[in-house]
Amino acid sequence: MILEAALDRVNPTTAVAHLKGRMTLGMRLREIETTISDTLDDGVQKLILDLSGIEFLDSAGLGVIMILYGNMQERGGKLRVVAPGPKVLEVFKLTHTDWILTIDPSLEAALTS
């Protein structure tokens, strides 16, 4: 399944990116990274990546998440990851990025944190 993204602005400083499909190397991943990064330039201090719809994540997909994490750190903001499935969580654990990323079980938990 091709990667799809829907961005919601919850308030002036919080954005949620709902991702669905496969986060794998390719132009679509790059397009979505650019779209999300452009949103950050509009005053976002809290970025929530809803990964509940992600079926698979390769190193390129993980790289995009870590780039967004770094961008938020540079801005003094926060990145939160929501509901990664078992395959995605396994990638986080294998790469020890689960120690770096803040992972929430639900969107509600991420919004209230």
Give me the pLDDT at residue 53, please.
Answer: 97
Question: Residue 90: its pLDDT value, please?
Answer: 96
Give pLDDT, residue 1.
82
DSSP per-residue codes, the chain: ---EEEEEEEETTEEEEEEEEEE-SSHHHHHHHHHHHHHHTTT-SEEEEEEEEEEEE-HHHHHHHHHHHHHHHHHT-EEEEE---HHHHHHHHHTTGGGTSEEESSHHHHHH-
> Cβ–Cβ contacts within 10 Å for residue 50, how many?
23
Query: Hey, what CATH class is 4-112 in?
Result: alpha beta
Residue 111 C-beta-side C-alpha neighbours within 13 Å: 11
Question: pLDDT tens, position by position, for the chain (113 residues)?
Answer: 899 999 999 999 999 999 999 999 999 999 999 999 999 988 999 999 999 999 999 999 999 999 999 999 999 999 999 999 999 999 999 999 999 999 999 999 999 98
Do the beta carbons of residue 5 and residue 40 sit within 8 Å?
no
Residue with tokens 């991943």: 29
